[in-house]
């Protein structure tokens, strides 16, 4: 549910203003919290004057809930609160504290808003807001090329330790907007956009509309998330024309509403460990709902079979078959390539075996005229000793970061199942990383609850040294991804070494804050047939994998043009595999997940 | 949303059974997870036989979600799993593990159920259930005077460290039920009641109905919470008569649905600290919605004014007036007693002062013909130096545990505001405690999330040494409350000492588990006019206070007839007050909240 808020600078009865706003189709108003014209108000702790009058309205003029649902308290201009001059600073501080006490009294779970028109010194303002604000605080800033308002915001929220209490209301201006600045704002917690009515032009029917360039800016935000509109206007206009127009823009441009993944946007998921934990039927069900992935596999299997010489029966092993989608792909590939195949279906999960038997007796045999031989084997592929060796092994052991579900360890064990001329589909996997900024994900790591029946919750320090699977949305990607780890299959090296180390460097196009890295992968299936989650080469329509998020405990400020260097390790122990990571630029971070103390992927 | 489940022991197609149940108005079925008659099933890790057949159905016969929504997997009888004989034990263990793997594969967030027909040794069963079950596990037990099935349940969940994964399905039997046993079950996490159709009798129209005594037992559960029904029946009956009858019983007896507090039942609330934090308008709003409390105050004020001699103006101070409800009570009291009063309204919260001014100019003066003098003073009562002394001070500074919002500290400072003959309303407050058992609250303390912007979540150890305000519901009160701390006002002792120590002893009427104490209070307003949250003397209709819950870190098993002794301290420091507590019987606990390290009530 989004709202449209009228920023009302005109004096008047608050009840009448809410009613006026409602008639004009605004669901909320933003007003000054202090009586209009009441400048010399008395402050807390001073002895009251004889002619004391209250500094604000009585709360009883509204139903308690209407204060938080209908009213956003606008705080006074804080300019002066960071002056060296103690007298000015203290007076301003006292005024702000009084207003915040008042807002806390009235707002409950609601909002206060503060307009920021300067950014040279903000530490004292940030300190007071972070300490005093109990509800949500909206920081109102201009989106403009004239002033670097992002750095004002960044100072504030950095002082406030990236608290989730702070969100941005961005005022749209008529000037051009720098593309990188816009992208950066899209990665910030934006509550809404302020549209002054002065930005509107008249269309041929004399109705107010926004110019095309401004519509485009609005579209960029609406594409990515729910946006609330704030309209600032003088009193005497027909304000409902503006709210109706903005509502129509929202309906027209809000692609986010159609995004099937919006319910899990920026939500942290613990990566699966299918080698250690058996998957359940729900997980298989989700996997199998991605036709694109299996089409690609089928394409690869067909091409590979076509390239195989002779008419002899080809032995194909499906390794980690789950509930059998790759068996279907092999059957179709055999049919298309007109080859005779024998399929050995290897799966360690005894429960999935029931499903495979069901398929064997019901679906697989009846649909093909060749009636291939299919055998279901309930074994871990690492323990399997087949009667014959395979011409082809097919597997889908890849995680969101490629090798993070231990496909290298599994496929290395399977090399001995292959003939010398045998091939593996996929034959290579590569992981990629890029640096990113996201307050939302930093907050998500902090707020991640304890899991299951754990007696104690995890500390932030531990949670921030763990990799997560995330549908990345409220994120600014600082630079494009670069390749990190590569694995080839079959790997006939002896001994095989699946430890890896990679160092990757990036450049910041603009001032920003590094909060972690995003990770992706691609897998080469056969020749140039591949699947990829790399954002610039993503396999169209494939939905099986979200990226991984690799957090940093401590955010790092990065200047435009500065290098970002990350070092990543993949370490193989006797019972587990784990990643470690750190940055060496712009700052040396501590080593994350040393010895896998915070997260491991178990192999036995 | 509750459900009605058909426990189906008859073989058949699961899809048909779900459909049969649906037609008969059951929303779920409970079935064996293993193929009917399939006794010699192969177990995981063994080499497969040549004539291997799957041990259960394929998951594909149902939509994935229907497994968790429509099916409760019934596990095999675990008897033997705790045998000393290694062969029997290991075989039983392997069977159970296979079934649990299978349930985890299919059930997602759903349920498994296990019937327990014995209770002499349960440790190995508990260990396996606690380790393996990922979904919710329903323990199916008989409610009967013949067997102490509660102790079976208690062994299981104690081994499993009171995990929230375990809930009880209680089979109703025809025999009489011991009242204390019933009360105890009402304090346990009951998922539902099983009703065998054999319990039904025929009414004069030949429809199946339950005998009165069984209806009464059902009513006891329905009074307290949402209850799901499980019906066990042979195949060939008209089962919809039973489900329809139970639905009508639910509608008729489910008082819980009408409970206005059910949304906060057993939810932990952090106690307010109105002396340290200023309250907000929402909190005042809730307070003022309890007319009973203010009626009692008005009654007390009226009686006290009537008892005062002479027609001179009486000075009445309302201390901590908030938004003014007690001022209204004083005005009404003056009117009823025909006394002339001057009211001094003292409130430290500058935001509430706005409200009081609003009342002064709008509501207070116009409604009385006497036009009493009212003065609003924005001061902490501890800093107030009045021009005259009072005949009466009126305050409502009481918390759920009486003195826990520091009313003694505040009122002691106010003694100097009183004439020598002056009185305080209230003139005494007393706190009470009783021992209780509640798995639900133990679980709630564990799961309490981090608050606000704290960088790290609290540990269980810290959270379990904090007092909470709770609407107690899923709780067994082991014994009746006893008085703990008493405070009298005005207290003219010199020096005043508000430290307290109390030791209280109780007796267990039946075997149970002590998980903490419940706390209440009463306050004597004037003569015999009082308000009370003591459960046996609760002021009818008064809703302002829920009890407090005083947790113990470690639950203690208590035998029938055994003593429970608790020691409680109230300690006053220079900046704060805190409670410490421990038990000395049945076991010595550690000292909780030593030096206030885990929770304090700040006084400055």
CB contact under 8 A, A349 and B56: no
Mean pLDDT check: name the lowest of A55-59, A308-312, B318-322.
A55-59
Using a CB-CB cut-off of 8 Å, the residues of chain B touching A164 are 453
* Chain B residues inside the 8 Å CB shell of A97: none
Contact between residue A601 and residue A399 where contact means Cβ atoms under 8 Å apart: no
Identify the bridge partners of residue A431 per DSSP, sorted by sequence position: A521
A166-170, A183-187, A279-283, B337-341: which has the minimum mean pLDDT? Answer: A279-283
Say how many CB pairs under 8 Å bridge A and B: 152
Nearest to B460 among A449, A455, A460 (CB): A455
Cβ–Cβ contacts within 10 Å for residue B471, how many? 16
Q: What is the DSSP string of B257-291?
A: GG-TTGGGBT--BPPP-TTTSPPPHHHHHHHHT-H
Cα–Cα distances (Å) from A83 to A39, A87, A159, A380, in that order, read: 20, 9, 17, 69
Q: Which of B405, B503, B562, B595 is catalytic?
A: B405
Question: Does CATH place domain A428-450+457-602 in 2.30.30.40?
Answer: no
Q: Residue A20 has which token pair?
A: 């006026």
Residues of B with Cβ-Cβ distance to A280 under 8 angstroms = 104-108
Instruction: Convert the pLDDT of each residue in A311-354 to its tens digit.
Output: 899 999 999 999 999 999 999 999 999 999 999 999 999 889 98
User: pLDDT under 50 in chain B at which residues?
Assistant: 44-47, 368
Spatial distance between the Cα atoms of A460 and A477, rounded to a whole number of angstroms: 23
Which CA distances in Å does B96 have to A352, B37, B131, B140?
18, 16, 12, 16
Is A396 known to be catalytic?
yes
Find chain B residues with C-beta within 8 A of A55's C-beta.
354
**Which residues contact residue B198 at a Cβ distance below 8 angstroms, ignoring those fewer than 6 apart?**
none
Question: What residues of chain A lie within 8 A of the CB of B604, using their CB?
Answer: none
Question: A405 catalytic, yes or no?
Answer: yes
For residue B131, the tally of other CB atoms under 10 A from its CB is 10
Give the pLDDT of residue B44. 44
Please state the separation of Cα A159 from the chain's center in Å.
23
Burial state string for B172-183 with b = 16 or more CB within 10 A and e = fewer than 16: bbeeebeebbeb
Q: Say how far apart CA A463 and CA A441 lie, in whole Å.
A: 12
The helix (H) or strand (E) run that includes residue A482 is strand A482-488
pTM: 0.85
| B56: nearest CA partner in chain A | A354
Q: Touching check for B385 and chain A: CB below 8 Å?
A: no
- With cut-offs at 50, 70 and 90, classify the pLDDT of residue A86: confident
Q: Per-residue pLDDT for A54 more than 70? A: no
Fold classified for B281-396: Rossmann fold (3.40.50)
Give contacts of B460 with chain A, Cβ < 8 Å.
455-456
Q: Searching chain B, which residue's CA lies closest to the CA of residue A68?
A: B282
**Contact (Cβ atoms closer than 8 angstroms) between residue A97 and residue A127:** no
The answer to whether B292 and B543 have CB atoms below 8 angstroms apart is yes
One of A171, A191, A194, A396 is an active-site residue; which one? Answer: A396
Written as six digits, the tokens of A441 are: 């994900």
pLDDT of residue A45: 46
The predicted structure's pLDDT at residue A337 = 94
Whether B280 sits inside 8 A of A106 (CB atoms) is yes
The CATH architecture assigned to B428-602 reads: Distorted Sandwich (2.70)
Residue of chain B whose alpha carbon sits nearest to that of A324: B60
Residues B133/B165, Cβ–Cβ less than 8 Å: yes
Contact of A594 with A580, CB cutoff 8 Å:
yes
Spatial distance between the Cα atoms of B542 and B253, rounded to a whole number of angstroms: 24
A4-258 carries CATH number 3.10.129.10: no
A450 touches chain B (CB under 8 A): yes
Task: Kindly tell me if the per-residue pLDDT of A423 is higher than 80.
Answer: yes
Please give the residue of chain B at the shortest CA–CA distance from A52.
Answer: B357
Has residue A48 got a pLDDT over 70?
Answer: no
- Among partner residues B280, B453, B459, which is closest to A456 by beta-carbon distance? B459
Query: CB-CB: which of A58, A446, A450 is closest to B355?
Result: A58
pLDDT band at A397 (very low <50, low <70, confident <90, very high): very high
B135 to chain A: which residues are within 8 Å by CB?
A: none
Query: Angle at Cα A416 formed by Cα A410 and Cα A420, nearest 5°?
Result: 125
Please report the pLDDT score of residue B254 as a whole number: 83
Residues A199 and A214: beta-carbon distance below 8 Å = yes
SS3 A587: coil
d(CA A217, CA A199) in angstroms, rounded, equals 13
Look at residue A145 and tell me whether its pLDDT is greater than 50.
yes
Q: Average pLDDT for residues A436-462, to the nearest whole number?
A: 85
The residue ranges of every structural domain in chain B are 4-258, 281-396, 428-602
Count other Cβ atoms within 10 Å, centred on residue B252.
Answer: 12
Distance from CA of B113 to the nearest CA of A (A): 18
Looking at beta carbons, which residues of chain B come within 8 Å of A358?
54, 57-58, 60-61
CA-closest candidate to residue B432, choices B307, B543, B313, B568: B568
- Residue B78 exposure: Cα atoms within 13 Å on the Cβ side: 30
> Within B401-438, where are the H helices?
407-414
pLDDT for A172-202, tens place per residue? 999 889 999 999 999 999 999 999 999 999 9
Mapped onto helix, strand or coil, the DSSP state of residue A551 is: strand
| Chain A from 298 to 327: CB within 8 A of any B CB | 323
Which of A285, A447, A450 is the closest to B64 by Cβ?
Answer: A285
Q: B316: distance to nearest CA of chain A, Å?
A: 21
CA distance, residue B52 to nearest chain A CA (Å): 10
Give me B185's structure tokens.
């079950």
Interface of B with A in 342-361 (CB under 8 A): 349-355, 357-359
Q: Report A:265-284 residues touching B (Cβ under 8 A).
A: 278-282
Max Cα distance, chain A (Å): 107
- From the candidates A93, A99, A188, A405, give the one annotated as an active-site residue: A405
- Give CA separation, A364 vs A351, A354, A375, B167, B219, in Å: 19, 14, 12, 42, 54
* A50 reaches B (C-beta below 8 A): no
Q: Which of B93, B191, B396, B580 is catalytic?
A: B396
């Amino acid at each position: 549910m989004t709202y449209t808020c009228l920023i009302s600078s005109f004096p008047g009865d608050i009840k009448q203003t809410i009613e006026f706003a409602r008639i004009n189709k605004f669901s909320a108003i933003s007003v000054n919290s202090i009586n209009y014209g009441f400048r010399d108000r008395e402050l807390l702790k001073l002895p009251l004057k004889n002619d004391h009058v209250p500094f604000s309205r009585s709360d009883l003029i509204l139903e308690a809930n209407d204060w938080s649902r209908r009213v956003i308290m606008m705080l006074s201009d804080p300019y002066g609160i960071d002056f060296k001059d103690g007298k000015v600073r203290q007076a301003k501080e006292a005024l702000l504290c009084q207003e915040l006490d008042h807002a806390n009294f009235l707002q409950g779970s609601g909002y206060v808003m503060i307009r920021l028109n300067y950014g040279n010194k903000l530490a004292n303002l940030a300190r007071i807001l972070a300490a005093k604000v109990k509800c949500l605080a909206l920081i109102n800033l201009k989106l403009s090329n004239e002033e670097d308002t992002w750095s004002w915001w960044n100072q504030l929220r950095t002082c406030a330790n990236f608290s989730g209490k702070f969100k941005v209301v961005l005022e749209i201006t008529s000037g051009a907007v720098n593309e990188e600045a816009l992208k950066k704002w899209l990665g910030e917690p934006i509550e809404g956009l302020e549209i002054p009515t002065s930005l509107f032009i008249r269309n041929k029917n004399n109705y107010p509309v926004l110019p095309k360039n401004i519509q485009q800016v609005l579209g960029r935000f609406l594409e990515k998330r729910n946006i609330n509109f704030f309209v600032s206007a003088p009193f005497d206009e027909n304000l409902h024309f503006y709210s109706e127009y903005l509502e129509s823009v929202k309906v027209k441009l809000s692609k986010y509403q159609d995004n099937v993944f919006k319910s899990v946007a920026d939500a942290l998921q613990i990566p699966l460990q299918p080698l250690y934990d058996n998957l359940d039927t729900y997980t298989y069900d989700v996997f199998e709902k991605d036709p694109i992935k299996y089409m690609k596999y089928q394409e690869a299997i067909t091409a590979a079979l076509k390239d195989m010489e002779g008419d002899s029966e080809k032995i194909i092993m499906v390794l980690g078959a789950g509930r059998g989608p790759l068996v279907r792909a092999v059957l179709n590939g055999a049919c298309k390539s007109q080859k005779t195949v024998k399929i050995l279906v290897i799966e360690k999960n005894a429960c999935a075996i029931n499903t495979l038997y069901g398929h064997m007796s019901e679906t697989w045999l009846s649909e093909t005229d060749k009636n291939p031989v299919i055998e279901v084997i309930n074994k871990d592929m690492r323990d399997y000793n087949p009667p014959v060796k395979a011409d082809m092994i097919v597997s889908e052991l890849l995680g969101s970061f490629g090798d993070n579900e231990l496909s290298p360890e599994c496929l290395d064990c399977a090399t001995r199942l292959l003939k010398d001329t045998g091939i593996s589909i996929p034959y290579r996997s590569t992981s990629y990383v890029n640096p990113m900024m996201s307050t939302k994900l930093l907050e998500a790591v902090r707020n991640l609850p304890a899991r299951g029946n754990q007696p104690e919750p995890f500390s932030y320090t531990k949670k921030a040294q763990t990799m997560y699977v995330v549908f990345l949305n409220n994120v600014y990607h600082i630079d494009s991804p670069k390749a990190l780890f590569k694995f080839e299959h079959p790997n006939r090296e002896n001994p095989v070494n699946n430890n890896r180390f990679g160092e990757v460097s990036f450049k910041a196009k603009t001032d920003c804050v590094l909060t972690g890295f995003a990770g992706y992968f691609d897998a080469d299936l056969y020749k140039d047939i591949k699947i990829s989650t790399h954002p610039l080469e993503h396999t169209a329509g494939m939905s099986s994998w979200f990226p991984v998020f690799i957090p940093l405990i401590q955010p790092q400020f990065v200047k435009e043009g500065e290098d970002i260097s990350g070092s990543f390790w993949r370490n193989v122990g006797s019972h587990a595999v784990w990643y470690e990571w750190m940055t060496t630029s712009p700052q040396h971070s501590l080593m994350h997940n040393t010895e896998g103390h915070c997260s491991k992927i178990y192999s036995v």
